């Protein structure tokens, strides 16, 4: 029987408080799948250390020495969560690994769902998305902002899987297709649904983080949302264009009003309207410049074609 080889990729940034427990849980899950003959015994987990400032890498080395199924990549500095995911997938593209699962090291996403993901992959699914069916562990603000984010993304024409983060399984065919996406600024949650092929969803309830701090505070969440929008949709520019046309029309009406007020001797009465229109138009111009500037900055970063990440050390 030709068993499939599975790799579980975990981006890790300052995960010292949880890495040992996470490793134990995932190795147990690999053992379960080995017993069920779902994956081969040489399946493994791989930590991608995204420039951690604590003992994450040293602990990874210790865990690797204890069990060779624990492997690792260490970045030369912090390159970001998305680039850590990309690095893990890129390093395994074209290898003998059949399936790759990406999951955060805090294991808030239910690791037991990996078993169901693998079963669906064996049945012929190329991509299996982990989708949350319960957000009660989130704060009210995070729950509302997350739902709003997915609605806005879909409204802007970006194809996403609602309540899906970066917990997914992809097979080697998907990895090879993904390697053709060469842009530097990637929004993975939007890219994989555009690839196509056979897909399925696995639903689970997300747990609360046991230790450590979230790697996505409000500032990063907003930046991540902005990256997702500007990486996949030009609709904001279209909206600014349409708004400009609307404001030009309104300005024309203000001009007519001003001329009427002038010839009828009521220019003083039009002064508040003039001031309001100046401020509105000025603000919209700044907004338009900002939106266009955001896209220009994306082009600026893309044409440099700098590497997404730099690997310092590897544990194989």
Q: What is the pLDDT of residue 9?
A: 94
**Is-contact 99 5, C-beta < 8 A?**
yes
Q: What is the pLDDT of residue 232?
A: 54
Is the model's pLDDT at 46 over the cut of 90? yes
Is the model's pLDDT at 230 over the cut of 60? no
Q: What is the pLDDT of residue 136?
A: 60
Is the model's pLDDT at 79 over the cut of 60? yes
The residue-averaged pLDDT of 216-244 equals 59
186 Cβ neighbours under 8 A, 6+ residues apart? 82, 86, 231, 308
Q: What is the pLDDT of residue 289?
A: 75
Confidence tier at 194 by pLDDT (50, 70, 90)? confident
Confidence tier at 303 by pLDDT (50, 70, 90)? confident
Q: What is the pLDDT of residue 267?
A: 57
**Is-contact 187 227, C-beta < 8 A?**
yes
What average pLDDT is seen over the chain? 78
* pTM of full prediction above 0.75: no
Q: What is the pLDDT of residue 64?
A: 94
Distance CA 308, CA 316 (A): 21
Using alpha carbons only, give the angle 208, 214, 219 rounded to the nearest 5 degrees. 130
Sheet holding 99-102, edge to edge: 199-205, 127-134, 164-171, 99-102, 6-12, 44-49, 70-75, 311-315
Tell me the two tokens of residue 190: 């939007």
Is the model's pLDDT at 39 over the cut of 80? yes
Confidence tier at 226 by pLDDT (50, 70, 90)? low
Is the model's pLDDT at 70 over the cut of 90? yes
Using alpha carbons only, give the angle 259, 264, 265 rounded to the nearest 5 degrees. 100
Question: What is the percentage of the chain residues whose pLDDT exceeds 70?
Answer: 65
Selected residue with higher pLDDT from 190 and 57: 57
The residue-averaged pLDDT of 36-53 equals 91
The 10s digit of each residue's pLDDT in 96-129 is 999 999 998 888 888 898 999 999 999 989 999 9
Is the model's pLDDT at 174 over the cut of 70? yes
For the ranges 73-87, 214-228, 246-260, which has the lowest average pLDDT? 214-228
Is the model's pLDDT at 234 over the cut of 80? no
Compute the residue count for the chain.
Answer: 316
The 10s digit of each residue's pLDDT in 256-298 is 766 676 667 665 655 556 656 676 676 677 667 767 776 776 6
Is the model's pLDDT at 163 over the cut of 60? yes
Selected residue with higher pLDDT from 97 and 138: 97
Q: Which of 97, 221, 232, 71 is nearest to 169 (CA)?
A: 97
């Amino acid at each position: 029987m030709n068993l499939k080889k599975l790799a579980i990729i975990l981006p890790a940034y300052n995960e010292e408080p949880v890495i040992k427990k996470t490793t134990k849980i995932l190795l147990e899950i690999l053992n379960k799948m080995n017993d069920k003959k779902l994956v081969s015994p040489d399946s493994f987990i791989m930590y991608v250390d995204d420039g951690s400032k604590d003992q994450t890498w040293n602990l990874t080395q210790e865990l690797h020495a204890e069990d060779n199924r624990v492997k690792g990549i260490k970045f030369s500095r912090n390159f970001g969560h998305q680039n850590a995911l990309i690095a893990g997938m890129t390093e395994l593209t074209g290898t003998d690994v059949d399936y790759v699962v990406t999951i955060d090291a805090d294991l808030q996403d239910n690791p037991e769902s990996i078993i169901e993901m693998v079963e669906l992959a064996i049945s012929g699914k190329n991509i299996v998305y982990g989708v949350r069916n319960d957000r009660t562990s989130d704060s009210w603000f995070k729950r509302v902002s997350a739902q709003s984010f997915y609605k806005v993304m879909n409204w802007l024409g970006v194809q996403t899987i609602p309540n899906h983060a970066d917990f997914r399984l992809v097979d080697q065919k998907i990895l090879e297709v993904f390697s053709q996406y060469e842009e530097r600024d990637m929004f993975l949650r939007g890219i994989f649904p555009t690839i196509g092929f056979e897909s399925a969803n696995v639903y689970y309830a997300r747990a609360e983080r046991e230790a450590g701090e979230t790697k996505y505070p409000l500032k990063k969440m907003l930046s991540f949302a902005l990256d997702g929008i500007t990486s996949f949709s030009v609709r904001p520019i279209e909206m600014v264009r349409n708004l400009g046309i609307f404001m030009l029309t309104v300005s024309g009406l203000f001009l007519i009003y001003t001329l009427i007020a002038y010839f009828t001797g009521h220019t003083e009465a039009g002064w508040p309207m003039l001031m309001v229109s100046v401020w509105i138009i000025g603000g919209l111009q700044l907004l338009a410049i900002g939106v266009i500037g955001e896209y220009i900055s994306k082009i600026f970063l893309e044409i440099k074609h700098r590497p997404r990440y730099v690997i310092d050390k590897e544990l194989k």
